[in-house]
Amino acid sequence: MNSTHSKVIGYILWIFGFMGAHRFYYGRPVSGTIYFFTLGLFFIGWIVDLFLIPSMDRSADRRYATGPKDYSVTWILMTFLGFFGLHRLYMGKWITAIIWFFTGGLFLLGYLYDYCTLNGQIDEVNRRSRRFG
């Protein structure tokens, strides 16, 4: 069974779900952005998501490739130490990690980009490692 994301992390992020955190984690940046600006669809969508997390987890597991880079570790690094570019170092993106370190995540605009694309970036790194590994 391909397991790329964690339900435990999903439920922890659900606590902050009215800001869209769990939706970004499961690779749903559009609804994550909507949740961010509407406080989880006025908290109603946030409550409904309590029951939808298992299906979002299964969907993410089918969509993204497993590999040497763990999705949860990368998301935790970005969330808590992303300002320093540590999530990019972890993915092997040394040049952009150095840029992040000296610019504070490209003046915080890089955070928005990575919140919307991080799962795809990890997926790309994992798929590339399968071809060349």
Q: What does residue 83 show for φ and ψ, rounded to 5 degrees? A: -55, -30
The number of distinct structural domains making up the chain is 2
| Same-domain pairing of 128 and 79 | yes
| Same-domain pairing of 58 and 80 | no
Q: Is 109 exposed, middle or buried (0-12, 13-18, 19+ CB in 10 A)?
A: exposed
Domain range enclosing 122: 71-132
Question: What pLDDT tens digit does each residue of the chain (133 aa) get?
Answer: 689 999 999 999 999 777 899 999 999 999 999 999 999 999 999 999 999 999 999 999 999 999 999 999 999 999 888 889 999 999 999 999 999 999 988 877 888 899 999 999 999 999 999 887 5
Residue 2: inside a domain: no
pLDDT digits (tens, 9 = 90+) for 85-112: 999 999 999 999 999 999 988 877 888 8
| Same-domain pairing of 15 and 58 | yes
| Same-domain pairing of 35 and 53 | yes
Rg of the chain (C-alpha set): 15
| Same-domain pairing of 11 and 44 | yes
Residue 104: inside a domain: yes
| Same-domain pairing of 76 and 59 | no
| Same-domain pairing of 49 and 100 | no
> Please, are residues 37 and 18 in contact by the beta-carbon 8 Å criterion?
no
First-to-last CA distance in the chain? 21
The pair of three-digit structure tokens given for residue 9, joined into one six-digit string? 């992390």
- Tell me if residue 133 falls in helix, strand or coil: coil
pTM equals 0.90
